[in-house]
Amino acid sequence: MTYTELSSTNGEAQTIVDTALRSAPPAELEQGKVYAFHTPTGVHKVDLTGPATAPDRKTGTTTVRDAASFSSYFTKHADEHTEVYADADRLTITAVLDAHQANAPRWGGHILKLSLRETETWKQWAARDGKLMDQETFAEFIEDHLPELLEPTAADMLEIAQSFQATSKVEFQSANRLASGQRQFQYVETGTTKAGQKGQLAVPETFTIGLVPFEGSEGYRLTARLRYRIGQNGLQLGYKLERPDEVRRTAFADVVNRIDGDIEQPVMNGTPAL
């Protein structure tokens, strides 16, 4: 074999290799790593440790829990065409940050949502609303929630709770409404050295509490009316909150008004088409 023939054979082999490399399926490289590979002209390096290519638009849904957080994110990302919707039933305020323009559609894929959550204190008072409890349970509930009691004072309500605990072994016979607005319970001592001795226990017929309905919202005053029943199971006590749903709606409206005052775009009543 001559030298010329050998050179020709090597050239054909290289052509086959190059063709095979070009026809190989592409391989996906992982961001954050450095790759090196051989080419006909030498070693080629691909450095993917730098920042990835920025996306062409903003997308995704961000959920916040209070009005201050909503206004902060909104101010950073909104524009004059952003749309805002309030839904009182779902307790949500939703902003479509890239909403359609009047004559130009946009993606509508960058969403900010305020999803309000009820406080634990509100849920605890709501859970017991309208339900009767035995004396001991009622007294413990009052003791556990002294910070929310406004009128009578927490100290006065603590004294009442302790009185119920002290009279848990008596027989309650009747209840009268006093001119002062209190409910007076008549009882007779049983099972003690004072058996047969009569006594009285006065309890306010209404008391005022202060509750924060939603995390990050303001506090509101509610009136609770005393409920009771004297039966075979002894004295049972509870309370009924006056118009808690109205207070809840007012609290949501106040959150909407706060956000409406922080931003230039109007807050519409409803939900966006997503």
Domain match, 130 and 212 both: yes
Domain match, 128 and 196 both: yes
On whether residue 52 sits in a domain, the answer given is no
On whether residue 54 sits in a domain, the answer given is no
Separation of alpha carbons 135 and 124, rounded Å: 18
The residue type at 171: E
Q: What is the pLDDT of residue 29?
A: 66
Domain match, 182 and 217 both: yes
On whether residue 139 sits in a domain, the answer given is yes
On whether residue 175 sits in a domain, the answer given is yes
Domain match, 212 and 128 both: yes
Domain match, 91 and 148 both: no
Q: Based on the structure, what is the number of domains in the chain?
A: 3
On whether residue 87 sits in a domain, the answer given is yes
Q: Which residues face 151 on adjacent strands?
A: 208
Domain match, 162 and 67 both: no
Domain match, 170 and 258 both: no
Range of the domain at 164: 120-242
Domain match, 77 and 150 both: no
List per-residue pLDDT tens for the chain, 274 residues long. 444 454 555 566 666 656 655 666 666 667 667 776 666 676 677 766 666 667 778 999 999 999 999 999 999 999 999 999 999 999 999 999 999 998 999 999 999 999 999 999 999 999 999 999 998 999 999 999 999 999 999 999 999 888 888 887 788 888 888 877 888 888 888 766 565 678 888 889 999 999 999 999 999 999 999 999 988 878 899 999 999 999 999 999 999 999 999 999 999 999 998 7
Q: What is the pLDDT of residue 194?
A: 60
Domain match, 15 and 108 both: no
Report phi then psi at 75, rounded to 5.
-60, -35
On whether residue 162 sits in a domain, the answer given is yes
The answer to whether the pTM exceeds 0.85 is: no
Domain match, 225 and 141 both: yes
On whether residue 274 sits in a domain, the answer given is no
| Closest of 55, 69, 59, 80 to residue 113, by C-alpha | 69
Domain match, 13 and 33 both: yes
On whether residue 55 sits in a domain, the answer given is no
Contacts of 263 (CB under 8 A, 6+ apart): 71, 74, 75, 78, 84
| Closest of 228, 65, 200 to residue 131, by C-alpha | 228
Domain match, 128 and 165 both: yes
Tokens 């399926």: give the residue.
Answer: 25
